[in-house]
Amino acid sequence: MKAKEPIKKICEFCGREFEAYTQTARYCSHQCNCKAYREIKRKEVISLSASMASKTKRERAKVDLSGREYLSISEAASLLGWCKQTVYNYCHKGIIPAKRLSQRTTLIRKKDIEALFDEIEPYEVLATGERKSIDEWYTIDEVTEKYGLLRHRIRKIINAEGIPTKKAGTRTLIAKSRIDAYFRKRGFDNTLSNLADWMTTPEVMEIYGMTEQAVRVFVSRYAIPKKRLNGKLYYSKQHIDKLKHKES
């Protein structure tokens, strides 16, 4: 559609500004239009030639491999349609026999690759297994009480480890088996949750005549078991008593 007034545009070929009377005009003159058309066709020919050359090169490589008795890792990967790392993995497992001639040269006999398919066993579909249903759950408060961690720390562990959760009203429930397995792998001693007596920092200070800073250094140095309950931090009285009696 022809515009009522000229539109200022930039020629896509020569880059000069010109006045156009249609919205679709791209070039300032017929000469630029012809030159741009020839340039587009030239690039198409170059692209087609490069594609054909690449295809010919790949086909030539395939033909060359057909008469080869020994193959490098790269050539074996090309023949099988795998990546090099997959071929290396099968060589390391002993599935594909290979000979390391030097640090940078490993050869595979082509007949050894073909021998992999001489005896074909019936294809077996691997069973994926069924997931066990989760029957037991913790509340977050129960986890914080048992393992002595703050709520936000428990939530970080749940997100990082992908531990299953579910909602029960306003409460969040955590899969008991999965969270227990997480702490068990990290050396948590389940007997610690059953300790009868626990002490707060002020109680330790009063009984043993220690300053708050001294208590912090003491429980950290000897890795005294601790737990957090209702926002308060408790330490194992059994462990503290045992160490204090040794000192005395």
Domain 68-115 matches domain 195-247 at the CATH topology level: no
Q: CATH code for 195-247?
A: 1.10.1660
Q: Can you give the pTM of this predicted structure?
A: 0.31
CATH class of segment(s) 68-115? mainly alpha
Q: CATH code for 137-190?
A: 1.10.10
Joined together, the tokens standing for residue 106 give 């490993």
Residue 58 has pLDDT above 70, yes or no: no
Residue-wise pLDDT for 222-241, tens only, equals 888 777 766 677 888 888 88
Q: Which residue ranges make up each domain of the chain?
A: 2-57, 68-115, 137-190, 195-247
Least confident range from 70-84, 120-134, 188-202, 205-219: namely 120-134
